[in-house]
Amino acid sequence: MDYAAAVEYLLSFTDLERGVQRSANPTMSLESVRSLLSRLNDPHLGRPTVHVTGSKGKGSTAAMIAGILRREGHSAALYTSPHLHAFTERIAIDGESVDPREFATALEAIKPAIEDERRSVHGNVSTFGILTALFFWLARARLPRVQWQVVEVGLGGSFDATNVFDEPDVVVITAISLEHTAILGDTTVAIARDKAGIIKPGSTCVLAPQRDRAVVDVVRARCAEVGAALVDVGAAYNAEPIEKHPYGQSFRLTGPSGEMELRTPMLGRHQLDNAATAVAAAEAIRARGHEISDAAIRDGIAHTRIPGRMEVMGQRPLVVGDGAHNVESAAALAAAMRDYFQWARCFFVVGVMNDKDVRGMGFQLARHAELIVCTRFQSPRSMDPYQMIQEIGFLGPPAVAEETVPEAIDTALSHADEGDLLCITGSLYVVAEAREYLLGESATGS
């Protein structure tokens, strides 16, 4: 099996990200995930685990935590989703995406167990469930080198395919907002209850700053119920910006261990909250008896950069890509645009999944817009750009529709001058296609 065949095999299963349904059951049950892992001799066990969930910021926070562990000299495997260009990006060992050949070889090795599970009484097998098992298989294959695993939840928490740990060392819950309401619930409290399901007895839960204090109450109650320690980052830590520019920012973080000055190439006030949460997680790891130095914390934060998050992709006009996929992310993006960039006029290229609150996102972005170009992207779940216009066309700035991301970018650029800003946002799929068009990044078969 080569990488192209591996991707073809993965895509033959149910995949909620792409909206492809191969079974009457919409997701792979936890029973089925645990059964598959059992067939593989439980590769998720045998190393300390940091389990990360949340509505926004979980990918950045997970990457920062893995970066801190690496700077201390601990080998770390990182599992995140979705990817920008290739499935291999989801599995990183010591900061490097797994090689496509190793990815394909490992998938071929676990394929008999997948097919046995497919034929079992447990029900559906999904692309995400297979990728989760593949990550654990690869992390074990790198033993004794891999000492830690940092695992990002795919969707929610309680019933996510990654929720297979009885005793994770540290559980991280980033900012919670309304998302996937048809699945997780239509209030932040309901969503928090679902995500808090990854908190287990004996673990330390690190809770990022929350806009809704009721979320804190839900998480605190879950910790008390199962006997987990709670670190409330919003109450125990304070991040104050010092300097900011288009390619990074510095800030002063005050917490239980004192004060330190940190730098990050990630832009936006929300990234300071993510960094504070990552530092709190590192200090929780240290409190559990593992060595984590302040130098490793500083270096780990300073060297973590994630494509597609407030990423500068061009100059004159300034081109920025950011996967702001919900209302709160759009609000954070709008604030960051004012704080970090200088521009005369702003043009948006926006594409979203068909279950997103595009009107709410539009309210956050429209006040800054000269023109909004609504676009379709390469996913069956992409919202029709003409439907998007119906949702945001009344907000003030003119809105037009294009059928592809390159066409949308060209339309926006045709109106922009050197002193303007073009912001490409919405789904990470849109940002990925923009990176391919503007930067020449390739998808390597995904």
Q: Tell me, what CATH number does 213's domain have?
A: 3.40.1190.10
Q: How confident is the model at residue 45, as a pLDDT?
A: 95
Indicate whether 22 and 119 sit together in one domain. Answer: yes
* 172 lies in some domain: yes
Q: What is the pLDDT of residue 175?
A: 93
Report yes or no: 282 and 292 within 8 Å, Cβ to Cβ: yes
Q: What is the 3-state secondary structure (H, E, C) of the chain?
A: CCHHHHHHHHCCCEECCCCECCCCCCCCCHHHHHHHHHHCCCCCCCCCEEEEECCECHHHHHHHHHHHHHHCCCCEEEECCCCCCCHHHHEEECCEECCHHHHHHHHHHHHHHHHHHHCCCCCCCEHHHHHHHHHHHHHHHCCCCCCEEEEECCCCCCCCCCCCCCCCCEEEECECCCCCHHHHCCCHHHHHHHHHHHCCCCCEEEECCCCCHHHHHHHHHHHHHHCCEEEEHHHHCEEEEEEEECCEEEEEEEECCEEEEEEECCCCHHHHHHHHHHHHHHHHHHHCCCCCCHHHHHHHHHCCCCCCCCEEEECCCEEEEECCCCHHHHHHHHHHHHHHCCCCCEEEEEECECCCCHHHHHHHHHHHCCEEEEECCCCCCECCHHHHHHHHCCCCCCEEEECCHHHHHHHHHHHCCCCCEEEEEECHHHHHHHHHHHHCCCCCCC
Tokens of 323: 């996967």
Question: Would 445 be classed as within a structural domain?
Answer: no
Domain boundary among 302, 334, 355: 302
In the predicted model, residues of the chain with pLDDT beneath 70 are 18-27, 179-186, 442-446
The pLDDT of residue 122 is 82
If asked whether residues 360 and 232 sit together in one domain, one would say no
Residue 333 lies in a domain: yes
Are 260 and 327 within one domain? Answer: no
Question: 319 Cβ partners below 8 Å, 6+ apart?
Answer: 312, 313, 421, 422, 424, 438
Residue 445 has what pLDDT?
41
Same structural domain, 221 and 359: no
Pair 328, 262 in one domain = no
pLDDT digits (tens, 9 = 90+) for 143-152: 788 999 999 9
Angle at 188 between CA 185 and CA 189, to 5 degrees: 85
Whether 213 and 238 map to the same domain: the answer is yes
pLDDT of residue 91: 98
Residue 262 structure tokens: 């940190």
CA atoms within 13 A on the CB side of 267: 25
State phi, psi for 399 to the nearest 5 degrees: -130, 135
| pTM more than 0.95 | no
Q: Do 240 and 347 belong to one domain? A: no
Tell me: do 275 and 351 sit in the same domain. no
Query: Which of 260, 278, 302 is the last residue before a domain boundary?
Result: 302
Q: Tokens at residue 367, please?
A: 């006040």
In total, how many domains does the chain have? 2
Is residue 285 in some structural domain?
yes
In a domain, 57, yes or no: yes
End position of a domain, from candidates 245, 276, 302: 302
Query: Domain check: are 166 and 297 in the same one?
Result: yes
Do both 386 and 282 map to the same domain? no
Domain that holds residue 319: 311-439
Residue 415: CATH number of its domain: 3.90.190.20
CA distance 159 to 46: 22
**Cα radius of gyration rounded to whole Å, the chain:** 21
